[in-house]
Chain A
Amino acid sequence: MAEVLVYVDHVDGAVRKPTLELLTLARRIGEPVAVALGGGAGDTAAALAEHGAVKVLTDEAAEYADYLVVPKVDALQAAHAAVSPAAVLVPSSVEGKEIAARLALRLGSGVITDAVDLEAGDEGPVATQSVFAASYTTKSRVSKGTPVITVKPNSVAVEAAPAAGAVEALSVTFSAQATGTKVTGRTPRESTGRPELTEAAIVVSGGRGVNGAENFAVIEALADSLGAAVGASRAAVDAGWYPHTNQVGQTGKSVSPQLYIASGISGAIQHRAGMQTSKTIVAINKDAEAPIFDLVDYGIVGDLFDVVPQLTEEIKTRKG
Chain B
Amino acid sequence: MSLRIVVTVKYVPDATGDRHFADDLTVDRDDVDGLLSELDEYAVEQALQISDNSDDDVEITVLTVGPEDAKDALRKALSMGADKAIHVEDDDLHGTDAIGTSLVLAKAIEKAGYDLVVSGMASTDGTMGVVPALLAERLGVPQVTLLSEVSVEDGTVKGRRDGDAASEQLEASLPAVVSVTDQSGEARYPSFKGIMAAKKKPVQSWDLSDLDIDEDEVGLENAYTVVDSAAERPARTAGTIVKDEGEGGKQLAEFLASQKFV
Chosen A-B contacts, 5 in total, with CB atoms closer than 8 Å, are A184-B170, A251-B39, A284-B248, A293-B239, A303-B244
Interface residues on A, range: 35 or more
Q: How far is the CA of A67 from the CA of B105 in the complex (A)?
A: 25
Interface residues of A (CB under 8 A from B): 11, 68-70, 73, 93-95, 97-98, 100-102, 104-106, 109-114, 126, 130-145, 176-177, 180-189, 196, 198, 202, 226, 244-245, 250-251, 258-259, 269-270, 273, 276, 280-282, 284, 288, 293-303, 306-315, 318-319
The 5 closest A-B pairs by CB, nearest first: A302-B244, A310-B249, A110-B224, A180-B142, A101-B130
Q: Do B248 and A310 have beta carbons less than 8 Å apart?
A: yes
Partner pick for B243 among A94, A142, A302, CB 8 A cutoff:
A302
Which chain B residues lie closer than 8 Å to A276 at the CB level?
Answer: 233
Could you tell me if A136 and B21 are in contact, using CB atoms closer than 8 angstroms? yes
Q: Which residues in B have their C-beta under 8 angstroms from that of A98?
A: 129-130, 133, 143, 145
Q: Which B residues are CB-close (under 8 A) to A113?
A: 128-130
**In the assembled complex, which residues on chain A have CB atoms less than 8 Å from the CB atom of B1?**
none
- Residue from B25, B130, B144, B255 in contact with A298 in the complex, judged by beta carbons closer than 8 Å: B255
A314–B16 alpha-carbon span in the complex (Å): 38
Judging by beta carbons under 8 Å apart, are A295 and B236 in contact? yes
Residues of B within 8 A of A298 (CB): 239-242, 252, 255
B172 to chain A minimum Cβ distance, whole angstroms, is 4
A250 / chain B contacts, CB cutoff of 8 Å: 15, 124, 127
Cross-chain contact A126 with B167 (CB below 8 angstroms) = no
Contact assessment for A307 and B239 in the assembled complex, using a CB-CB cutoff below 8 Å: no
A189 and B166: CB pair below 8 A?
yes
User: B residues within 8 Å of A by Cβ?
Assistant: 15-16, 19-21, 25, 39, 97-99, 102, 121, 124-125, 127-130, 133-134, 136-138, 140-146, 148, 158, 161-173, 176, 181-183, 223-233, 236, 239-244, 246-253, 255-257, 259, 261-262
A186–B163 alpha-carbon span in the complex (Å): 10
Q: A181-B176, A310-B247 are in contact. List 10 more A-B contacts (CB 8 A).
A: A93-B164, A101-B134, A139-B227, A180-B142, A180-B172, A184-B170, A186-B169, A259-B256, A302-B248, A314-B253
Assess whether B230 is in contact with A315, with CB atoms less than 8 Å apart. Answer: no
Neighbouring B residues of A70 by C-beta, 8 Å? 143
- Nearest CB of B to A104, in Å: 7
Q: Is the CB of A310 within 8 A of B170?
A: no
Residue of A142, A181, A189, A281 near B171 (CB, 8 A) is A181
Asked if A143 and B130 make an inter-chain contact with CB atoms under 8 angstroms apart, the answer reads no
Shortest CB distance A10–B (Å): 10
